[in-house]
A and B are shown apart, each in its own frame.
Chain A
Protein backbone atom coordinates (compact mmCIF):
# COMPACT_ATOMS: atom_id res chain seq x y z
CA UNK A 1 0.00 0.00 0.00
CA UNK A 2 1.05 3.59 -0.52
CA UNK A 3 0.80 6.07 2.35
CA UNK A 4 1.43 9.79 2.34
CA UNK A 5 3.71 10.32 5.32
CA UNK A 6 4.64 13.91 6.19
CA UNK A 7 3.93 14.84 2.59
CA UNK A 8 6.00 12.06 1.05
CA UNK A 9 4.54 9.05 -0.69
CA UNK A 10 5.97 5.80 0.66
CA UNK A 11 5.27 2.11 0.12
CA UNK A 12 4.53 -0.29 2.95
CA UNK A 13 3.37 -3.87 3.24
CA UNK A 14 -0.26 -4.23 4.31
CA UNK A 15 -1.16 -4.96 7.91
CA UNK A 16 1.06 -2.39 9.59
CA UNK A 17 -0.38 -0.37 12.47
CA UNK A 18 0.53 3.15 13.60
CA UNK A 19 2.75 1.87 16.41
CA UNK A 20 4.79 -0.16 13.91
CA UNK A 21 4.82 2.72 11.44
CA UNK A 22 6.36 4.98 14.11
CA UNK A 23 9.20 2.49 14.49
CA UNK A 24 9.66 2.03 10.73
CA UNK A 25 9.83 5.79 10.29
CA UNK A 26 12.49 6.14 12.99
CA UNK A 27 10.39 8.05 15.48
CA UNK A 28 12.45 7.22 18.55
CA UNK A 29 9.67 7.72 21.05
CA UNK A 30 5.92 8.09 20.48
CA UNK A 31 6.06 10.83 23.13
CA UNK A 32 7.95 13.00 20.66
CA UNK A 33 5.11 13.31 18.18
CA UNK A 34 1.44 13.91 17.73
CA UNK A 35 0.05 11.57 15.06
CA UNK A 36 -2.46 12.99 12.60
CA UNK A 37 -4.31 10.30 10.65
CA UNK A 38 -6.43 11.47 7.69
CA UNK A 39 -6.79 14.84 9.36
CA UNK A 40 -7.69 13.65 12.86
CA UNK A 41 -5.36 13.41 15.83
CA UNK A 42 -4.99 9.96 17.33
CA UNK A 43 -4.83 9.24 21.02
CA UNK A 44 -1.77 7.27 22.11
CA UNK A 45 -3.90 4.24 22.97
CA UNK A 46 -5.09 4.12 19.35
CA UNK A 47 -1.62 3.53 17.90
CA UNK A 48 -1.94 -0.26 18.17
CA UNK A 49 -5.46 -0.54 16.81
CA UNK A 50 -5.30 1.80 13.80
CA UNK A 51 -4.19 0.11 10.55
CA UNK A 52 -3.74 2.55 7.66
CA UNK A 53 -5.09 1.59 4.24
CA UNK A 54 -3.85 2.46 0.76
CA UNK A 55 -3.62 6.23 0.18
CA UNK A 56 -4.18 7.19 3.81
CA UNK A 57 -2.46 10.36 4.98
CA UNK A 58 -0.32 10.26 8.10
CA UNK A 59 1.55 13.19 9.65
CA UNK A 60 3.98 12.94 12.50
CA UNK A 61 4.01 16.38 14.09
CA UNK A 62 6.98 16.93 16.36
CA UNK A 63 6.99 18.73 19.67
CA UNK A 64 9.23 21.80 19.57
CA UNK A 65 9.67 23.53 22.86
CA UNK A 66 12.42 26.04 22.15
CA UNK A 67 12.06 29.76 21.76
CA UNK A 68 14.55 31.49 23.99
Chain B
Protein backbone atom coordinates (compact mmCIF):
# COMPACT_ATOMS: atom_id res chain seq x y z
CA UNK B 1 0.00 0.00 0.00
CA UNK B 2 1.21 3.48 -0.81
CA UNK B 3 2.04 6.06 1.85
CA UNK B 4 -0.54 8.78 2.50
CA UNK B 5 0.36 12.20 1.16
CA UNK B 6 0.41 15.25 3.44
CA UNK B 7 -2.96 16.54 2.27
CA UNK B 8 -4.47 13.08 2.81
CA UNK B 9 -3.18 12.96 6.37
CA UNK B 10 -5.08 16.18 6.99
CA UNK B 11 -8.13 15.23 4.96
CA UNK B 12 -8.59 11.87 6.69
CA UNK B 13 -7.36 12.97 10.12
CA UNK B 14 -10.69 12.12 11.82
CA UNK B 15 -10.36 8.57 10.52
CA UNK B 16 -6.71 8.33 11.43
CA UNK B 17 -7.54 9.39 14.99
CA UNK B 18 -9.74 6.32 15.33
CA UNK B 19 -7.77 3.54 16.95
CA UNK B 20 -9.49 0.88 14.86
CA UNK B 21 -8.56 2.65 11.62
CA UNK B 22 -5.40 4.72 12.04
CA UNK B 23 -2.94 5.40 9.22
CA UNK B 24 -2.89 1.79 8.12
CA UNK B 25 -6.67 1.55 7.96
CA UNK B 26 -6.83 4.73 5.91
CA UNK B 27 -4.19 3.33 3.56
CA UNK B 28 -6.39 0.28 3.15
CA UNK B 29 -9.39 2.46 2.38
CA UNK B 30 -7.41 4.46 -0.20
CA UNK B 31 -6.24 1.21 -1.82
CA UNK B 32 -9.71 -0.36 -1.87
CA UNK B 33 -12.17 -0.83 -4.71
CA UNK B 34 -15.90 -0.86 -4.00
CA UNK B 35 -18.69 -1.47 -6.50
CA UNK B 36 -22.12 0.01 -5.82
CA UNK B 37 -25.01 -1.43 -7.82
CA UNK B 38 -27.77 1.15 -8.10
CA UNK B 39 -27.24 4.92 -7.76
CA UNK B 40 -30.62 5.48 -6.11
CA UNK B 41 -31.99 5.70 -2.58
CA UNK B 42 -29.47 3.33 -1.00
CA UNK B 43 -26.64 3.99 -3.43
CA UNK B 44 -26.71 7.78 -2.99
CA UNK B 45 -25.67 7.96 0.67
CA UNK B 46 -23.43 4.91 0.30
CA UNK B 47 -21.55 6.54 -2.59
CA UNK B 48 -21.24 9.88 -0.80
CA UNK B 49 -19.70 8.32 2.29
CA UNK B 50 -17.44 5.95 0.38
CA UNK B 51 -16.15 8.86 -1.72
CA UNK B 52 -15.66 11.10 1.30
CA UNK B 53 -13.87 8.25 3.10
CA UNK B 54 -11.33 8.07 0.30
CA UNK B 55 -12.09 4.69 -1.28
CA UNK B 56 -9.58 4.51 -4.13
CA UNK B 57 -11.80 3.20 -6.86
CA UNK B 58 -15.59 3.21 -6.98
CA UNK B 59 -17.62 1.38 -9.61
CA UNK B 60 -21.26 2.31 -10.00
CA UNK B 61 -23.87 0.63 -12.17
CA UNK B 62 -27.31 1.93 -13.03
CA UNK B 63 -29.28 1.83 -16.23
CA UNK B 64 -31.67 4.66 -15.38
CA UNK B 65 -31.77 8.39 -15.85
CA UNK B 66 -32.76 10.84 -13.13
CA UNK B 67 -36.45 11.66 -12.93
CA UNK B 68 -38.42 14.01 -10.73
CA UNK B 69 -39.80 11.31 -8.42
CA UNK B 70 -36.21 10.24 -7.58
CA UNK B 71 -35.27 13.55 -5.95
CA UNK B 72 -37.31 12.87 -2.80
CA UNK B 73 -34.63 10.42 -1.63
CA UNK B 74 -31.84 9.95 -4.17
CA UNK B 75 -29.65 12.68 -2.76
CA UNK B 76 -26.82 12.23 -5.25
CA UNK B 77 -28.98 13.82 -7.90
CA UNK B 78 -30.38 17.33 -8.14
CA UNK B 79 -32.83 19.23 -10.32
CA UNK B 80 -30.07 20.06 -12.79
CA UNK B 81 -29.58 16.33 -13.36
CA UNK B 82 -33.12 15.55 -14.54
CA UNK B 83 -32.86 13.34 -17.61
CA UNK B 84 -29.15 12.68 -17.08
CA UNK B 85 -27.84 9.13 -16.70
CA UNK B 86 -27.64 8.42 -12.97
CA UNK B 87 -24.14 6.99 -13.25
CA UNK B 88 -22.86 10.24 -14.83
CA UNK B 89 -24.57 12.35 -12.18
CA UNK B 90 -23.04 10.01 -9.58
CA UNK B 91 -19.55 10.35 -11.03
CA UNK B 92 -19.78 14.15 -11.01
CA UNK B 93 -20.94 14.26 -7.37
CA UNK B 94 -18.35 11.75 -6.21
CA UNK B 95 -15.51 13.65 -7.84
CA UNK B 96 -16.82 16.98 -6.54
CA UNK B 97 -16.36 15.59 -3.03
CA UNK B 98 -13.14 13.78 -3.73
CA UNK B 99 -11.31 14.27 -7.01
CA UNK B 100 -8.84 11.49 -6.18
CA UNK B 101 -11.48 8.76 -6.38
CA UNK B 102 -11.35 6.86 -9.65
CA UNK B 103 -14.97 6.40 -10.70
CA UNK B 104 -15.97 3.68 -13.12
CA UNK B 105 -19.54 4.26 -14.31
CA UNK B 106 -21.45 1.38 -15.87
CA UNK B 107 -24.57 2.67 -17.60
CA UNK B 108 -26.70 -0.40 -17.98
CA UNK B 109 -28.42 -3.26 -16.22
CA UNK B 110 -26.33 -6.01 -14.70
CA UNK B 111 -27.52 -9.51 -15.52
CA UNK B 112 -26.22 -13.05 -15.39
CA UNK B 113 -24.22 -12.53 -18.58
CA UNK B 114 -22.16 -9.53 -17.43
CA UNK B 115 -22.21 -9.14 -13.64
CA UNK B 116 -19.26 -11.42 -12.87
CA UNK B 117 -16.92 -9.62 -15.25
CA UNK B 118 -18.10 -6.21 -14.02
CA UNK B 119 -17.47 -6.91 -10.31
CA UNK B 120 -14.40 -9.09 -10.62
CA UNK B 121 -11.77 -6.45 -9.79
CA UNK B 122 -13.54 -5.09 -6.71
CA UNK B 123 -13.02 -5.88 -3.03
CA UNK B 124 -16.55 -5.24 -1.78
CA UNK B 125 -19.97 -4.92 -3.41
CA UNK B 126 -22.91 -2.80 -2.21
CA UNK B 127 -26.37 -3.88 -3.36
CA UNK B 128 -28.51 -0.78 -3.72
CA UNK B 129 -30.98 -2.23 -6.20
CA UNK B 130 -34.74 -2.22 -5.96
CA UNK B 131 -35.96 -5.59 -7.18
CA UNK B 132 -35.86 -9.13 -5.89
CA UNK B 133 -34.55 -10.32 -9.26
CA UNK B 134 -31.52 -8.03 -8.92
CA UNK B 135 -30.98 -8.76 -5.24
CA UNK B 136 -30.92 -12.52 -5.71
CA UNK B 137 -28.69 -12.21 -8.79
CA UNK B 138 -26.20 -10.02 -6.88
CA UNK B 139 -26.22 -12.49 -4.00
CA UNK B 140 -25.51 -15.40 -6.34
CA UNK B 141 -22.81 -13.51 -8.24
CA UNK B 142 -21.02 -12.42 -5.07
CA UNK B 143 -21.14 -15.97 -3.71
CA UNK B 144 -19.72 -17.43 -6.94
CA UNK B 145 -17.06 -14.70 -7.14
CA UNK B 146 -16.40 -14.96 -3.36
CA UNK B 147 -16.86 -11.21 -2.91
CA UNK B 148 -18.04 -9.88 0.46
CA UNK B 149 -21.09 -7.69 0.01
CA UNK B 150 -23.79 -5.70 1.74
CA UNK B 151 -27.42 -6.45 1.00
CA UNK B 152 -30.20 -4.04 1.96
CA UNK B 153 -33.91 -3.72 1.34
CA UNK B 154 -36.28 -0.92 2.26
CA UNK B 155 -40.04 -0.64 2.47
CA UNK B 156 -42.15 2.31 3.66
CA UNK B 157 -40.70 3.26 7.08
CA UNK B 158 -38.56 0.13 7.50
CA UNK B 159 -35.39 -1.40 6.20
CA UNK B 160 -33.13 -4.36 6.73
CA UNK B 161 -29.56 -5.20 5.88
CA UNK B 162 -27.04 -8.01 6.17
CA UNK B 163 -23.39 -8.32 5.26
CA UNK B 164 -22.25 -11.55 3.63
CA UNK B 165 -18.86 -13.24 3.67
CA UNK B 166 -19.37 -15.91 0.99
CA UNK B 167 -19.27 -19.53 2.22
CA UNK B 168 -18.39 -18.28 5.71
CA UNK B 169 -21.59 -16.50 6.73
CA UNK B 170 -25.26 -16.80 5.84
CA UNK B 171 -26.18 -15.42 2.42
CA UNK B 172 -29.42 -13.77 1.31
CA UNK B 173 -30.66 -17.05 -0.16
CA UNK B 174 -29.90 -18.90 3.11
CA UNK B 175 -32.64 -16.73 4.64
CA UNK B 176 -35.09 -16.03 1.83
CA UNK B 177 -34.36 -18.89 -0.57
CA UNK B 178 -35.84 -17.37 -3.72
CA UNK B 179 -37.81 -14.33 -4.88
CA UNK B 180 -41.43 -14.26 -3.70
CA UNK B 181 -44.10 -14.89 -6.31
CA UNK B 182 -45.16 -11.81 -8.26
CA UNK B 183 -47.66 -9.68 -6.37
CA UNK B 184 -47.16 -11.41 -2.99
CA UNK B 185 -44.99 -8.70 -1.52
CA UNK B 186 -45.25 -4.94 -1.90
CA UNK B 187 -42.01 -4.07 -3.62
CA UNK B 188 -43.30 -1.87 -6.40
CA UNK B 189 -43.16 1.89 -6.61
CA UNK B 190 -46.63 2.00 -5.04
CA UNK B 191 -45.27 0.77 -1.72
CA UNK B 192 -43.57 4.05 -0.94
CA UNK B 193 -40.50 4.84 1.13
CA UNK B 194 -39.58 7.64 3.52
CA UNK B 195 -36.50 9.12 1.86
CA UNK B 196 -34.44 9.37 5.02
CA UNK B 197 -34.96 5.65 5.74
CA UNK B 198 -33.17 4.89 2.48
CA UNK B 199 -30.44 7.23 3.71
CA UNK B 200 -30.01 5.41 7.01
CA UNK B 201 -29.75 2.02 5.36
CA UNK B 202 -27.38 3.25 2.64
CA UNK B 203 -25.16 4.85 5.28
CA UNK B 204 -25.07 1.52 7.14
CA UNK B 205 -24.01 -0.20 3.91
CA UNK B 206 -21.10 2.24 3.46
CA UNK B 207 -20.15 1.68 7.10
CA UNK B 208 -20.12 -2.08 6.58
CA UNK B 209 -17.93 -1.71 3.49
CA UNK B 210 -15.44 0.42 5.44
CA UNK B 211 -15.45 -2.05 8.36
CA UNK B 212 -14.72 -5.00 6.10
CA UNK B 213 -11.97 -3.06 4.27
CA UNK B 214 -10.25 -1.92 7.48
CA UNK B 215 -11.04 -4.94 9.65
CA UNK B 216 -12.63 -2.66 12.26
CA UNK B 217 -15.32 -4.12 14.49
CA UNK B 218 -17.78 -6.85 13.60
CA UNK B 219 -19.62 -6.64 10.28
CA UNK B 220 -23.25 -7.75 10.13
CA UNK B 221 -22.24 -11.30 9.31
CA UNK B 222 -24.91 -13.86 10.23
CA UNK B 223 -27.00 -10.95 11.42
CA UNK B 224 -30.09 -9.53 9.77
CA UNK B 225 -30.36 -5.96 11.03
CA UNK B 226 -33.88 -4.54 10.87
CA UNK B 227 -34.83 -0.91 11.35
CA UNK B 228 -38.28 0.60 11.97
CA UNK B 229 -38.41 4.39 11.76
CA UNK B 230 -41.95 4.80 13.10
CA UNK B 231 -41.15 3.10 16.39
CA UNK B 232 -37.50 4.16 16.01
CA UNK B 233 -36.32 0.71 16.98
CA UNK B 234 -33.87 -1.72 15.50
CA UNK B 235 -33.50 -5.42 15.93
CA UNK B 236 -30.77 -7.89 15.09
CA UNK B 237 -31.80 -11.42 14.21
CA UNK B 238 -29.08 -14.05 14.35
CA UNK B 239 -29.11 -16.21 11.25
CA UNK B 240 -26.84 -19.00 10.15
CA UNK B 241 -25.78 -20.66 6.94
CA UNK B 242 -28.33 -23.07 5.58
CA UNK B 243 -26.52 -26.28 4.58
CA UNK B 244 -29.19 -26.79 1.92
CA UNK B 245 -28.98 -23.21 0.65
CA UNK B 246 -29.85 -23.06 -3.03
CA UNK B 247 -26.90 -20.72 -3.61
CA UNK B 248 -24.12 -21.38 -1.09
CA UNK B 249 -25.08 -24.84 0.21
CA UNK B 250 -23.27 -28.11 -0.51
CA UNK B 251 -25.36 -28.55 -3.67
CA UNK B 252 -25.47 -24.84 -4.42
CA UNK B 253 -25.38 -23.18 -7.81
CA UNK B 254 -22.36 -23.57 -10.09
CA UNK B 255 -23.32 -20.89 -12.56
CA UNK B 256 -25.49 -17.79 -12.72
CA UNK B 257 -29.01 -17.51 -14.06
CA UNK B 258 -31.29 -14.50 -14.23
CA UNK B 259 -34.40 -14.35 -12.06
CA UNK B 260 -37.76 -13.45 -13.44
CA UNK B 261 -38.79 -9.88 -12.77
CA UNK B 262 -42.46 -9.63 -11.77
CA UNK B 263 -44.36 -7.30 -14.06
CA UNK B 264 -45.17 -4.76 -11.35
CA UNK B 265 -41.48 -4.05 -10.87
CA UNK B 266 -40.87 -3.17 -14.48
CA UNK B 267 -42.63 0.14 -14.35
CA UNK B 268 -40.61 1.25 -11.35
CA UNK B 269 -37.71 3.24 -12.69
A residues near B, CB below 8 A?
6-7, 29, 31-32, 34, 36, 39-41, 59, 61-68
B187 interfacial contact with A, CB 8 Å: yes
Q: A34-B176, A41-B174 are in contact. Are A66 and B154 (CB under 8 A)?
A: yes
Asked if B176 and A67 sit within 8 Å, CB to CB, the answer is no
Segment with Cβ contacts to A, from B53-61, B97-105, B123-131, B211-219: B123-131
Residue in A39, A63, A66, A68 whose beta carbon sits within 8 Å of that of B176 in the complex? A63
Asked if B235 and A7 sit within 8 Å, CB to CB, the answer is yes
Interface residues on B, range: 35 or more
5 extra interchain contacts, Cβ-Cβ under 8 A, other than A36-B175, A63-B180, A65-B185? Answer: A6-B235, A40-B242, A62-B160, A65-B187, A67-B135
Q: A31-B184, A32-B185 are in contact. Are A64 and B239 (CB under 8 A)?
A: no
Asked if B38 and A67 sit within 8 Å, CB to CB, the answer is yes
Asked if B175 and A68 sit within 8 Å, CB to CB, the answer is no
B148 interfacial contact with A, CB 8 Å: no
Asked if A32 and B128 sit within 8 Å, CB to CB, the answer is no
How far apart are the CA atoms of A61 and B224 in the complex, in Å? 9
Asked if B175 and A41 sit within 8 Å, CB to CB, the answer is yes
Min Cβ gap B82→A in Å is: 16
> What chain A residues lie within 8 Å of B235 (beta carbons)?
6-7
How far apart are the CA atoms of A31 and B174 in the complex, in Å? 16
What are 11 of the A-B contact pairs (CB < 8 Å)?
Answer: A31-B181, A32-B180, A32-B184, A36-B237, A36-B239, A41-B175, A63-B185, A64-B158, A66-B193, A66-B198, A68-B42
> What chain A residues lie within 8 Å of B175 (beta carbons)?
34, 36, 41, 61
Residue in B41, B131, B177, B268 whose beta carbon sits within 8 Å of that of A34 in the complex? B177
Q: A31-B181, A59-B237 are in contact. Are A64 and B160 (CB under 8 A)?
A: yes
Which residue among A29, A41, A63 has the maximum number of chain B CB atoms within 10 Å of its CB? A63
Asked if A31 and B130 sit within 8 Å, CB to CB, the answer is no
Asked if B191 and A66 sit within 8 Å, CB to CB, the answer is yes
> What chain B residues lie within 8 Å of A7 (beta carbons)?
235
> What chain B residues lie within 8 Å of A32 (beta carbons)?
180, 184-185
Min Cβ gap A36→B in Å is: 7
How far apart are the CA atoms of A41 and B176 in the complex, in Å? 9
Asked if A39 and B224 sit within 8 Å, CB to CB, the answer is no
Q: A34-B177, A39-B238 are in contact. Are A66 and B184 (CB under 8 A)?
A: no
> What chain B residues lie within 8 Å of A63 (beta carbons)?
132, 153, 176, 180, 184-185, 187
Min Cβ gap A43→B in Å is: 8
How far apart are the CA atoms of A67 and B197 in the complex, in Å? 10
> What chain A residues lie within 8 Å of B129 (beta carbons)?
67-68
> What chain B residues lie within 8 Å of A40 (beta carbons)?
242
Q: A31-B180, A31-B181 are in contact. Are A64 and B187 (CB under 8 A)?
A: yes
> What chain A residues lie within 8 Å of B242 (beta carbons)?
40-41
Min Cβ gap A38→B in Å is: 11
